[in-house]
Amino acid sequence: MALFKKKEKKKGNRKVTVPENLWIKCDNCREIIYRREVERNLKVCPKCNYHFRITVDERISSLIDEGTFEEFDADLESVDILGFVDTKKYTDRLAEAKRKSKRNEAVVTGRGKINGMDVVIAVFDFAFLGGSMGCVVGEKVTRAIEEATRREVPLIIVSASGGARMQEGTLSLMQMAKTSAAMKRFHDAGLPYISILTDPTTGGVAASFAMQGDVIISEPGALIGFAGPRVIEQTIMQKLPEGFQRAEFLLEKGMVDMIVPRTEMKETVSKLLGYMYRGEKKRASGKNG
């Protein structure tokens, strides 16, 4: 849990960092690829199908019908409850993350439509302190779940997180319980939740709502697990096999339902919801009659 610091370091060589250039090199296959083509392809390498990490805005526009997204609770801001200082002050880390992302926190929540169907969606921003969950992330996710329950609409959460946020101590841990309690009510209301796991989803986020989906979808190659690979390697004192904790491994072990490339994600989610959700009115009449 709370492994975002480690992950943060990795981020640098994963991002598409050369937007001015016409050509970029894929981080995975090392092929030189045409930047426009990669972008048209939702930042998936056309040669090897490698999924680059994408921004929250790119994620939302890849899933939600154009012009239909309305954000919830954008004004919620974290406070430094513990007076946490390590090599930097927590408040400075927050300020820096806010400045870079131009958002207040590591998750963006809101409502919108998927092929015309109303949904509530939450999207994690791994670039914001490793997508870690503190009180604000927990609160925003909980409010989004409650809003979906109230509106009787499907819920989509796109996770990318190192886990609970160390800088808010045990209060961060409790966000796992808070979100899960809301999720229990959502499920009890008979509503569908599709959990989309992206690279990476570990720790307290994996061990709460990310694994509570009716259907769990992963992007190809995403790292998914409870403990981070380094922690496991230190514990068992041996190197982990190639591909351990990757999406394909989890599919084989029965922990996710399917691996879906980003380019097909919206259509897959839309189709699934077609089976799982019949709309507010019909559901209500079903209940009464």
Contact string 186-225 vs another protein (x = CB under 8 A): -xx-------------xxx-xxxxxxx-----------xx
Residues facing 114 on adjacent strands: 117
Q: Are the beta carbons of 42 and 58 closer than 8 angstroms?
A: yes
**Subset of 102-121 contacting another protein (CB under 8 A):** 104
Q: Which is nearer to another protein, 20 or 75 (CB)?
A: 75
CB of 8 to another protein, least distance (A): 10
70: left (phi over 0), alpha (psi -120 to 50) or beta: beta
Laid out side by side, the sheet with 117-124 consists of: 70-72, 107-114, 117-124, 155-161, 193-201, 215-218, 258-259
Q: Which is nearer to another protein, 4 or 52 (CB)?
A: 4
Q: Which is nearer to another protein, 38 or 179 (CB)?
A: 179
103: which residues sit within 8 A by CB, 6+ positions away? 56, 74, 125, 128
29: which residues sit within 8 A by CB, 6+ positions away? 45, 47, 48, 50
Of the candidate spans 31-39, 51-59, 94-102, 182-190, the one that interacts with another protein by CB under 8 A turns out to be 182-190
CB of 213 to another protein, least distance (A): 10
Q: Using the rule CB under 8 A, is 242 a contact of another protein?
A: no
Rounded-to-integer distance, Cα 193 and Cα 121, Å: 10
Of the candidate spans 40-48, 110-118, 185-193, 261-269, the one that interacts with another protein by CB under 8 A turns out to be 185-193
Instruction: Say how many residues touch another protein, by CB under 8 A.
Output: 70
Strands (E) located in 202-241 = 215-218
Rounded-to-integer distance, Cα 28 and Cα 43, Å: 13
Residue 175's identity, in one-letter code, is: Q
Q: Using the rule CB under 8 A, is 257 a contact of another protein?
A: no
Radius of gyration of the chain from Cα atoms?
19
Q: Using the rule CB under 8 A, is 245 a contact of another protein?
A: yes
Q: Which is nearer to another protein, 104 or 198 (CB)?
A: 104
151: which residues sit within 8 A by CB, 6+ positions away? 111, 118, 120, 280
CB of 259 to another protein, least distance (A): 16
Q: Which two tokens stand for residue 250?
A: 């989890």
Nearest to residue 7, comparing CAs of 156, 166, 180? 166
Q: Using the rule CB under 8 A, is 232 a contact of another protein?
A: yes
Q: Which of 16, 117, 174, 259 touches another protein (CB under 8 A)?
A: 174
101: which residues sit within 8 A by CB, 6+ positions away? 56, 125, 127, 128
Q: Which of 123, 144, 166, 260 touches another protein (CB under 8 A)?
A: 166
Q: Which is nearer to another protein, 255 or 276 (CB)?
A: 255
Q: Which of 102, 253, 281, 287 touches another protein (CB under 8 A)?
A: 253
By residue count, the chain amounts to 289
Interface residues toward another protein, by CB under 8 A: 1-3, 5-6, 73, 75-79, 81-87, 104, 135-136, 138-139, 142, 164-166, 168-178, 180-185, 187-188, 202-204, 206-212, 224-227, 231-232, 235-236, 240, 244-245, 253-255
